């Protein structure tokens, strides 16, 4: 074998190895495979001459060591530097690397780990909720000492800065929903019922869930990342040393802020979705905007409005609580920060959908 950096050839009754046998030379594509094929043409019983090797490191020596069957050939010529490397392999390199152990009950262990992990998360969430209730009581008793600046900043970040994306997505959802509904209702001559369909679907279910998912992906991830960075930079440890409660300064302001901002974001998203539906109804079904708005007042009952509006408080508190929970669990490294932020968003969206399903069942059972 001959390459730009090394050769392995048989001459004078010996196998001569020359050139560069370092990790830099072996990193090129298929270089290791070519050298292994060349070494495989000889055996440890041959006489090996490595005196002309220009450079050798542990990686190149390991390649030769494996070709010799993890033992030195009977006849071997080495330089002093290479001799030290192979002496180390002779002392420690006889045993092959252990094969990965395949666990017989790996699937059962994974299920157990998942159940235990769910229990740990549930216990810590319950602890966080209890501490939140205590902090809320202290805040109500002494409102002047409350974190008003943090609450105001979080309302702005989670509410005002989210209006653009929620308006765009809500408008497009309203357009799509109205367009598809108009096609089906026109087949039965029931075009006027598009107002009832849009009103109930958007105000009661679609608007709150859509706004909550957007806020969970945008603001929930930001909350987790903010607290996680504080963990990485040891700010949380500094707060604990100074006697500053994480719950009062980190969790409570964000829960209150999202509980206030979410209902308002939901109203904004509902309005934009209905606006998009109204425009499509005017274009496709020739329904005037004036008639649409007058019919919308009759289609949306007060109960549906308050149900959709009240979900905002629940979804906002749930998203903030989950985001803070995962933020406080982050370890002081960047890998944990990425995993925690991803888990926070996924868990928040899942919790929102699950909470909406539970609310739908409860309200249906009580007649709303």
The domain spans of the chain are 6-92, 154-365
CA angle 329, 331, 334 (to 5 degrees): 125
Cα-Cα end-to-end distance for the chain: 82
Tell whether the model's pLDDT for residue 345 goes beyond 90. Answer: yes
Strands 14-21 and 6-11: antiparallel
pLDDT, residue 99, reads: 61
Q: Please choose, from the candidates 123, 205, 124, 211, the residue with its C-alpha nearest in 3D space to the C-alpha of residue 170.
A: 211
Given 3.30.750, 2.160.20, 3.90.1200, 1.20.1510, which CATH number is that of 6-92?
Answer: 3.30.750
Tell whether the model's pLDDT for residue 3 goes beyond 60. Answer: no
Tell me the backbone φ, ψ of residue 112, rounded to 5 degrees: -60, -40
More confident residue, 367 or 142: 142
Per-residue pLDDT tens digits for 19-45: 777 777 777 777 788 777 777 777 767
- The confidence band for 81, taking pLDDT boundaries of 50, 70 and 90, is low
- The confidence band for 92, taking pLDDT boundaries of 50, 70 and 90, is low
pLDDT, residue 102, reads: 67
CB neighbours of 174 closer than 8 A, spacing ≥ 6?
198, 202, 272, 273, 274, 275, 276, 277, 278, 280
pLDDT, residue 100, reads: 59
Tell whether the model's pLDDT for residue 321 goes beyond 70. Answer: yes
Give dist(CA 139, CA 367) in Å, integer.
Answer: 36
Tell whether the model's pLDDT for residue 236 goes beyond 90. Answer: no
Average pLDDT of the chain, as a whole number: 84
What is the pLDDT averaged over residues 47-52? Answer: 76
pLDDT, residue 8, reads: 74
pLDDT, residue 347, reads: 93
- The confidence band for 80, taking pLDDT boundaries of 50, 70 and 90, is low
pLDDT, residue 189, reads: 76
| Enclosing H/E stretch for 76 | strand 75-77
pLDDT, residue 273, reads: 92
Distances (CA, A) of 189 to 183, 186, 192, 292: 10, 5, 8, 17
What percent of the chain is helix, strand and coil (3-state, nearest 5)? 75, 5, 20
């Amino acid at each position: 074998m001959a390459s730009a950096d090394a050769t392995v050839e048989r001459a004078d009754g010996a196998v001569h190895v020359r050139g560069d046998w370092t990790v830099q030379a072996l990193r090129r594509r298929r270089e290791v495979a070519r050298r292994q094929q060349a070494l495989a043409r000889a055996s440890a019983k041959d006489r090996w001459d490595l005196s002309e090797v220009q450079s050798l490191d542990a990686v190149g020596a390991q390649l030769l060591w494996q070709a010799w069957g993890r033992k030195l050939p009977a006849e071997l010529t080495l330089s002093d530097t290479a001799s030290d490397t192979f002496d180390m392999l002779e002392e420690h390199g006889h045993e092959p690397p252990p094969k990965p152990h395949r666990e017989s009950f790996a699937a059962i262990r994974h299920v157990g780990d998942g159940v235990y992990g769910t229990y740990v998360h549930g216990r810590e969430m319950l602890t966080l909720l209890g501490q939140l209730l205590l902090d809320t009581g202290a805040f109500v008793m002494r409102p002047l000492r409350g974190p008003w600046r943090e609450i105001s900043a979080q309302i702005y970040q989670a509410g005002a800065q989210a209006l653009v994306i929620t308006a765009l997505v809500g408008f497009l959802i309203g357009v799509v929903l109205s367009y598809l509904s108009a096609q089906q209702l026109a087949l039965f001559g029931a075009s006027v019922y598009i107002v009832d369909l849009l009103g109930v679907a958007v105000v009661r279910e679609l608007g709150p869930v859509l706004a909550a998912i957007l806020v969970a992906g945008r603001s929930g991830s930001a909350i987790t990342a903010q607290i996680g960075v504080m963990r990485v930079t040891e700010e949380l440890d500094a707060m604990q040393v100074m006697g500053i409660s994480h719950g009062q300064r980190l969790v409570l302001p964000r829960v209150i802020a999202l509980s206030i901002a979410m209902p308002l974001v939901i109203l904004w998203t509902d309005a934009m979705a209905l606006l998009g539906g109204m425009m499509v109804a005017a274009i496709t079904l020739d329904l005037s905007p004036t008639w649409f708005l007058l019919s919308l007042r009759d289609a949306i009952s007060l109960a549906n409005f308050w149900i959709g509006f009240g979900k905002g408080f629940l979804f906002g508190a749930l998203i903030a609580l989950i985001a803070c929970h995962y933020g406080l669990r982050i370890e002081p490294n960047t890998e944990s920060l990425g995993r925690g932020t991803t888990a926070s968003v996924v868990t928040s969206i899942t919790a929102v959908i699950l909470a909406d399903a539970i609310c739908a069942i409860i309200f249906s059972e009580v007649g709303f």
